[in-house]
Amino acid sequence: MLRGHSDAVNCIACKESKLFSGSVDRSIRVWDVESLECLIELGPSVNINFSVQHICLHENVLVSCGFTNRVVVIETHHYTLVKTLEQQEKFNRVR
């Protein structure tokens, strides 16, 4: 059993032997799928200060966003922030 988030998990993504979970608790956790151990918790240090709604993985990059005007891009080798994309107005819906 995976234990660690303090609130509901909204999204998950897998890559190789890692599972990524995004939560209402404003964090992304990276888990080892074999041991079920939490390897790292990503939060304010990589500019995640929103309820995580989406996680997208591509090559060595993780992209995440919530219902705010912010998208964070994190490299997955050392889990450091690459870039924060922001828009002046919050997104209300996608058309």
pLDDT bin (cut points 50, 70, 90) of residue 1 is low
For residue 88, the number of C-alpha atoms closer than 13 Å in the C-beta half-sphere is 0
Taking the C-alpha atoms of residue 95 and residue 93, their distance in angstroms, rounded to an integer, is 6
Residue ranges of domains in the chain: 9-86
**What is the chain's mean pLDDT, rounded?**
89
Q: What is the CATH number of domain 9-86?
A: 2.40.10.480
Per-residue pLDDT tens digits for 68-82: 888 999 999 999 999
Residue 89 binned pLDDT confidence (cut-offs 50, 70, 90): low
Look up the pTM and report it.
0.85
* 11, β-bridge pairs: 22
Q: How confident is the model at residue 4 (pLDDT cuts 50, 70, 90)?
A: confident
